[in-house]
Amino acid sequence: MLLRVSAVPKNYHWGSRTALPALFGQEPTGEPQAELWLGAHPDSTTTFIERVAGVPDTLNDWVAGDPQRALGGGRTRLPFLLKLLAAEKPLSIQAHPTLERARAGFADEEARGVPRDSPQRNYRDEWHKPELMVALRPGFTAMCGFRPVARTLELLQRLQLAAAESGAEAGARLIGDQRELLASKGLETVVGSVLLGDAGPLVRALVEAAAALDDDEWLAETRLIAELQLHYPADPGIAVAVLLNVVRLQPGEALYLPAGNIHAYVDGLGVEIMAASDNVLRGGLTTKPVDVPELLAVLDFSEMPVPFVPAVPRGDAVSEYEVPLDDFRLLRIGPGSARVALPEAAIVLGVEGTTSVADGAGSCHLAPGEAVFVSPDSESIAVSTTGSAFLATSGWRT
């Protein structure tokens, strides 16, 4: 069964005022529109556009009341959440817990009686939150994972020299001390010292040095430091951002961010799919509460390259972003046509051109930003698009 769905965009302060309205073909309201959530997460309602006999008004209520009919696969909850994300300002530096730590943290806060809606609560549910981000427009910018230390030492050396050459001797010494600490003690010590100590003088030194550094090799990093300072002046997260990979994605390129990966989206429009959880540990670049000790406990301090995920062809018009878990699976379709077997529920989201979706009982057409929920009784669907669409489902494999 094909059921067209809609949701109300979330107006977070970092959201773009133009990206989602442009995708939807609507006039901007003047308000930031940050995310559109499609799924059955308790913090957002996905509504069925047409009434169907025996089906409630919302996907949330259908999953809660009749999960086997709604989802299939013996599932009791929809394990993924599909989003459109439009960032105009940087999001917080953050990471997500493993499934084991989420369950332990949730049980602990439940036992201590911390209200689930408390701003001080870390674990609002007992699930992990790995996520996959696919860029829809050129230049989607993100920070993700710790850059190899050798490269960060090179960056800090260039910043130190720029500070010295500009006459900021005190700043040069602070950056030099940070470089020595990283070389001798490693990432965990450096991040802890920044987030648990007084990072103000170091942040000022880094911001001033980045403004003085004229080096194309580090242009993305110095521009990012300036942007973070603009939106979050003197925030200690700026000193953490200096340690991270910076990447600009082109349309169709993707990042996979597993548990423990430190990251922050900076700006751009993309499709995001994640395990359906709201467990976020923040460390900076935010007005929301942070819990530095818990963030440090969940972080993966491994050095890593940018965590790109290739789109693997699955047919003439289908490609898949493979991830090592069964909470979600994301396919990109188009331009062209494809048939996809679906033993479990799915959501198809149009993002470019006109998309048609059909099963044995009916069909529907999607403009960019429109979506349809596919219940498991469809078994398979035919998708045809003049542009591109994304299909999200649970982690079954062919």
Is residue 314 part of the annotated active site? The answer reads: no
Residue by residue, DSSP assigns 283-339 as EESSSS---HHHHHHH----B----EE-EEE-SSSEEEE--SSSS-EEEEE-SEEEE
d(CA 2, CA 363): 7
CB atoms within 10 A of CB 123: 25
Q: Which of 144, 124, 122 is nearest to 132 (CA)?
A: 144
Task: Flag whether 263 is marked binding.
Answer: yes
Query: Which pair of structure tokens corresponds to residue 294?
Result: 């818990």
Residue 11 is given by DSSP the state -
Q: What SS3 state is found at 257?
A: strand
Q: Is 131 among the annotated ligand-binding positions?
A: yes
Instruction: Give the 3-state secondary structure of residue 358.
Output: strand
Within the chain, residue ranges assigned H as helices are 19-24, 59-65, 67-71, 99-111, 149-165, 169-185, 187-196, 200-212, 219-231, 237-241, 292-298
Residue 94 marked in a binding site: yes
Exposure pattern of 177-210 as b/e (b: 16+ CB <10 Å)? ebbeebeeeebeebbbbbbeeebeebbbbbbbbb
CA atoms within 13 A on the CB side of 28: 13
Alpha-carbon 358 to chain mean position: 30
Nearest to 300 by CA among 243, 261, 255, 264: 261
Report helix angle 200-212 to 149-165, nearest 10: 80
3-state secondary structure of 169: helix
Annotated active-site residue in 147, 158, 282, 329: 282
Output the CA angle 6-1-359, nearest 5 degrees: 110
DSSP label of 7: -
Measured distance CA(396)–CA(325) in Å, rounded: 10
* Residue 68 marked ligand-binding: no
Binding residues for Zn(2+): 94, 96, 131, 263
Active site residues: 282
Binding residues: 94, 96, 131, 263
